[in-house]
Structure formats: structure tokens, C-alpha cells
Chain A
Amino acid sequence: MLSYIIRRLLYTIPIVFGVMLVTFLLFNVVRGDITDQIAGKAASAETRAEIQEAYGLDKPLFFDFKQSPFTKAFWNSQFVNHLFSAATFDFGSSYKDRELIWDKIKRGAGPSLALTVPMLIGTVVISISLSLVVAYFRGRWMDYILVLISIVGMSLPFLSFILFGQYFLAFKWGLFPVYFWPDLSVWQYTALPILIGIAAGIGGNLRFYRTVMLDELRNDYVRTAYAKGLSSRQVLFKHVLKNAMIPIITQVVLAIPFLFLGSLLLERFFGIPGLGYLMIDAIGSRDYKIINAMVYISAILFVVFNLITDICYAWVDPRVKFD
């Protein structure tokens, strides 16, 4: 078991390195020189040089071929600095207002989680309950109606859910506040976005869990349970649900890292000052450092949760081996 954990841990090293490489290629190599963007077009040569020095843009990307051993500059290149700052989680400060990116992220995490955690719980609970209903009524009109609703839900664009939801529920009928306001309590300003998020998420989730349940229903133990005279209800809730927990838990655990991202669109429309809003802002002002930090942090969270799931599998099921 210990050797499994160690090998699994070692396996994450190339992945983390890969994420650092991807962010470096995207935000330092492909993006190009952004001195003009930070300094403004009318900036003097001195200002430009100052900015280049402050953000390390004057250093070579990998090697400096003008120096005699061109590898000498490697240890102070943009690439090594990028690796170092990523490894120490030091993302520096934003281009726009010079605030530390960590402070921004810490401030945004709370509102984002207040939005996404209830959304995840609501979506999972409702779609699992509905999937059990569907499995119970499989092949009958109830099944067809729910499947049809879930396909329609998947087919509607998320933006339409948000816009029509905000327009009808908040603006026209006044059931919820339309927009974030600092005086409102958390529950007041997150209620409608949570509701919209759940409504939009149910379609795809219901289909996924329905497939899971129907796959379980085909197993031999279900036939045995029916054969010994159990009712449909007992089979579904006592046997099928318990066995279906494995794919359900995987799905839920791997959704957790995405909670920290908040919801880009919901936060933008309801003005919730979370991490999604932070990213939309950063996209608008081309603040690559914030996007870089968010991509990196979310990838690391994903890797960590993936690791936890795998270790839990190995712990629960001794047949799982790492090769």
C-alpha cells in the first residue's frame, strides 16, 4: 500500500511539470512581449526598460545565444523563474492594480464557494434522486418525459438559462435581488444563481446517473435480489444505490477542484465578487498573471483530488494495482 502511494505520488511529478510547461508556453512564449500593453504606447524607453526589469521580461526565454556559453543564462531565464515561482506558489502582483494575486484569490474564494458548493450538492442530490425515479419507471412514460427534459436541458445554452432566469425570476417577478449588493446577506444574493446553476446542470447529470443506474440494474445480483422476492424499491435503494456509489463518488470528488474556480458566467451576471468574476476581469484587462495563477492552482487541485481518489480506490479495493 505504501509503495503504491509513493509510486502514485511520483507519477504526479511529470504532470505538475507539464502544467508548468503549458502555462509557460502559453503565457510567456505564445503571448509575446507585453511591455507595450503594460506601459502604454507613449511610454519612454526608460519606462519600458523599468517595466521589463520589474516583470523579468528582459531575461531570455530559455538561453541567451549572445553569451559565450549560451547555457549560462539558463539559470536566470524566464523559464526557470517561471518554474520557481510556480513551485513556491509565488504569483507576484497583478499588472493592473499591483495587488498581490494571492490576496485577490483569498478574497474571491469565499463568495465563489458560497455559490458553487450548494450548487454541486443540489445538482447531485436532485439528479441522483431523479435517476432512481427514472430507473424505477424505466421504459414507461415517466422515464421518457424525464429523459426528454434532461436532453432539452443539455441542449439549451447556459447563457440562455442565466439571462432568462435573471429576467423572469429577478427582474420581472422580483422574487430575488437582480444583482449583488454589499448589504445583502450571502443567501440572498446567491439564491438565484444557485437555482439557475442547478437547473442548468441537472440535464447532463441526470443522463449520466441514469446510465450508471441502468448499468447496475443489468448485473446478476439484481436478478438474484428479485428472485428471492425483494420489491423493486428494496432492490433499488438497498442494492443498486449502494453499488452505484463508486461512479457517483468519483464524479463528485473530481468535481470538487472545479468548485474553487467559481462560475465564470453566473458570477459575471450577478456581480458576485468571486474567482470567476476575477477571471472575467483579468480576461478583459489582459492580465495574464491572474489567468496563469488560476490555471496553475486549479490544475494542481485537480491533480491532488485525482490522487486522493486513486488512493481511496486502492484502499477500498485491493485488486487495484498501479503499473
Chain B
Amino acid sequence: MTDSIQTTKNLQKPIKGRSLWIDAIGRLRKRKLAMICFGIILFYVFIACYVQVAEWTGSSWPTNWDESTGQKYESPNAQNIFGTDIFGYSILRKVLYGTKISLQVAFFASILSILIGVPMGAAAGYFGGFIDDVIVWIYSTLSSIPYILLILAFALVLKDKTPFGFKLAGATTVYLAIGLTSWVGICRLIRGEILKRKESEYVLAARAMGCSGGRIIFKHLLPNTFHIVIITFSLRFMSFIHAEVILSFLGLGEKDKPSWGAMIDSARLDLPKGYWWEMTAATLAILIISLALNIFGDALRDCLDPKLRTD
């Protein structure tokens, strides 16, 4: 009896509400490994931003990757910690510059596929009927073509085109090709999620208050599904980086500037001669950020959406 009185008293105290995000961040903070991985990702982003700013302001380091800093094929030493390549360029500078290009490609590809996939998925799920049929038709068609072939075909036809006086070359082609092909997955996910949620009470309440379809989608439904977008892209980011490597190797990517893919491509012929450092440096750069993204993405998924938890 006293217990229940106690509980009622406790309940009368105002309970401070916590949003999904604050809750998730609190849970993420408890995971040490995930936080270390987040630190690594921030470090990579910092390098990429630093290189970009250095390029804008005309600062010399590390944008002067095309200056020789030693003899050709110097093995790792005090002056060039990752050694030098065939022209005597510092591999450290190439890796740093490649960080910018690879992250840029993955970032713009993600933005592009979110901008295409999310509104289309939302429209298909919310409006249904003919709109749904058309959008489902488009993505079923695209997803029946093997992914790697589709990216290749897009990169191949987009390369060296000049739409609206803007020449597509190098990294631009790569992220256009990846972005225009990889919105399919997120579109399907968002459509399913909206289909599930559009019958819920808050949507009904919004509709009863006279909200328009666009307002319900953008103000009510999408904020409630946005964590899915974040989770998907923290895991997809890695595959975009790997796709850039493959496209660069096939000669459809960056040619004049060092990206990680271009580095692996140029190191391909050096490896049999025993010059292992350029290959190793590029591989390590990719491995570390992929590992960090993988582990952090999994932790983020567990914290944001416990229903999706795998173990």
C-alpha cells in the first residue's frame, strides 16, 4: 500500500524526456571500441578537410604531392615515413591527398543517393498507387542489373561528357556513377518503413489537423525514419570507398591526382619488383577507415534501433 503511494508520488515528478538521439548517444558513449572508431573516422575527416582547405588557400603541404622529396623508390625512412614512389614523390603526401579524394567521392555519392532515394522512397510509400508502381518499377529494373556492371556502365558513358558546360572527369564521374546507381537500396528501405508507419496514430492526427501530404512526409514521417538513413550510410560508406578503388583501377576514375585507387593501380607494377610500400600504405589507409566505419556503423545500429540488433 505504501509502496504504491510512493510510486504515484514519484510519477508526479516531471520526468525529463529524452529524444531517440540523446538516448542513442548515451548508449554509444558506453561502448569504448565504437568511440575509438568514431575518433578514427573524425581523424580521417579532419585530414580530408585540412587538405581541402590547404588547396583553397594555396598552402603547400600536403597538396604538393607532385614534388619529389628523395630518390625514386626509397624504402620507408626517417624523412619519408612511407617511402617514395617511382618519381620520388612522398607516399605519405599521396596518402593524405588520396584521403581527401576518396572521402569526397564517398561523401558526395552518399549525398546524391540520399537526395534521390529518400524522397522517391517516401513518395512511393506514402502515396501508393500509380506513383508507387512507377518508382518500384524503376528500382526493380535497376536492381536486376548486377551492381558492379551498372556502376561501370554509368561511369563509362558519363566519363568525359560535358552536360551544361560542366566537364565530367576523374572523381566527379566516380561519385556520379556511384550515386546514381546506389540510391536503390535506401529507396526500398524508406518505402517499406513509410508503408509501415503511415497508418500510425501520429500520422492520423496530423492528417486530421489538415496537414498536406508533403508536410506529413517531411515533418513527421522522414524525421522518424532518418536514423535508418544514417545507419545504412555509415555501413555503405565503406563500399563506396571500395568502389572508387575498383573504378580507378579500371581507368574510369581519378587519373591526374592520387586517390587510394589510383595509388593501388600505380603500385600494381611496383609490387613484383619488391617495392611494397606504396601498395601497403594505400591498403592500410583503406583498411583502417573501413574497419572503423564497420564497427562504428554496427554500434550505431545497435544503439539507434535495438530491433535490428544482430547479436
Cβ B250 vs Cβ A280 within 8 A: yes
Complex contacts, B144 vs chain A, CB 8 Å: 15, 19, 299, 302-303, 306
User: B156 touches which one: A23, A159, A291 (CB < 8 A)?
Assistant: A291
Q: Does B165 contact A (CB under 8 A)?
A: no
Cβ B251 vs Cβ A283 within 8 A: yes
Q: How far is the CB of B132 from the nearest CB of chain A, in Å?
A: 13
Cβ B141 vs Cβ A18 within 8 A: yes
Given A151-B291, A280-B250, A157–B145 Cβ distance below 8 Å?
Answer: no
Q: Does A221 contact B (CB under 8 A)?
A: no
Q: Does A241 contact B (CB under 8 A)?
A: no
User: A27 touches which one: B137, B157, B271, B311 (CB < 8 A)?
Assistant: B157
Q: Does B6 contact A (CB under 8 A)?
A: no
Q: Does A167 contact B (CB under 8 A)?
A: yes
User: A163 touches which one: B153, B161, B252, B279 (CB < 8 A)?
Assistant: B279
Binds A, one of B80-88, B104-112, B238-246: B238-246
Cβ A157 vs Cβ B245 within 8 A: yes
Q: Does A298 contact B (CB under 8 A)?
A: yes
Alpha-carbon distance A30/B163, docked complex (angstroms): 10
Q: What interface size band does chain B fall in? A: 35 or more
Please give me the residue from chain B that is nearest to A20 by CB atom.
B141
Given A155-B290, A163-B268, A299–B145 Cβ distance below 8 Å?
Answer: yes
Most buried by A among B245, B249, B252, B310: B249
Most buried by A among B138, B149, B252: B149
Q: Does A26 contact B (CB under 8 A)?
A: yes
A159-177, CB under 8 A of B: which get 1 and which 0? 1100110010001000000
Q: Which of B248-285 contact A (CB under 8 A)?
A: 249-252, 261, 264, 267-268, 271-272, 276, 279, 283
Cβ B290 vs Cβ A160 within 8 A: no
Q: Does A138 contact B (CB under 8 A)?
A: yes
Cβ A152 vs Cβ B250 within 8 A: no
Binds B, one of A113-121, A181-189, A258-266: A258-266
Q: Does A5 contact B (CB under 8 A)?
A: no
Q: How far is the CB of B262 from the nearest CB of chain A, in Å?
A: 12
Alpha-carbon distance A177/B180, docked complex (angstroms): 40
Q: How far is the CB of B184 from the nearest CB of chain A, in Å?
A: 12
Q: Does B154 contact A (CB under 8 A)?
A: yes
Please give me the residue from chain B that is nearest to A286 by CB atom.
B156
Q: Which of A132-167 contact B (CB under 8 A)?
A: 138, 151-152, 154-160, 163-164, 167
Alpha-carbon distance A20/B27, docked complex (angstroms): 49
Q: Does A31 contact B (CB under 8 A)?
A: yes
Complex contacts, B246 vs chain A, CB 8 Å: 158-159, 264-265
User: B145 touches which one: A19, A163, A167, A214 (CB < 8 A)?
Assistant: A19
Given A155-B238, A160-B283, A171-B272, A295–B138 Cβ distance below 8 Å?
Answer: no
Cβ A22 vs Cβ B142 within 8 A: yes
Please give me the residue from chain B that is nearest to A304 by CB atom.
B144
Q: How far is the CB of B182 from the nearest CB of chain A, in Å?
A: 15
Complex contacts, B291 vs chain A, CB 8 Å: 151-152, 155
Q: Does B14 contact A (CB under 8 A)?
A: no
Q: Does A211 contact B (CB under 8 A)?
A: yes
Given A30-B161, A159-B264, A295–B149 Cβ distance below 8 Å?
Answer: yes
A204-240, CB under 8 A of B: which get 1 and which 0? 0000001100100000000000000000000000000
User: A159 touches which one: B137, B140, B154, B249 (CB < 8 A)?
Assistant: B249
Q: Does B295 contact A (CB under 8 A)?
A: yes
Q: Does B101 contact A (CB under 8 A)?
A: no
User: B161 touches which one: A32, A211, A283 (CB < 8 A)?
Assistant: A32
Cβ A26 vs Cβ B153 within 8 A: yes
Given A31-B157, A159-B246, A302–B146 Cβ distance below 8 Å?
Answer: yes
A245-276, CB under 8 A of B: which get 1 and which 0? 00000000000011001001100000000000
Interface residue ranges, A against B (CB under 8 Å): 14-15, 18-19, 21-23, 26-27, 30-32, 138, 151-152, 154-160, 163-164, 167, 171, 210-211, 214, 257-258, 261, 264-265, 279-280, 283-284, 286, 288, 291, 294-295, 298-299, 302-303, 306
Known: A19-B145, A27-B153, A210-B310. 20 other contacts (CB 8 A): A14-B137, A15-B140, A22-B141, A30-B157, A155-B287, A156-B286, A158-B245, A159-B245, A159-B246, A163-B267, A164-B283, A211-B310, A211-B311, A257-B146, A258-B146, A295-B145, A295-B146, A299-B146, A302-B145, A303-B144
* Closest 8 pairs between A and B when the two form their complex, measured CB to CB: A18-B141, A155-B290, A160-B283, A31-B157, A299-B145, A155-B291, A302-B144, A30-B157
A selection of 21 A-B contacts at a CB cut-off of 8 Å is A14-B137, A14-B141, A15-B137, A18-B140, A18-B141, A19-B141, A21-B141, A154-B238, A154-B290, A156-B286, A156-B287, A164-B271, A167-B271, A211-B311, A258-B146, A261-B149, A283-B156, A283-B252, A295-B145, A299-B144, A302-B145
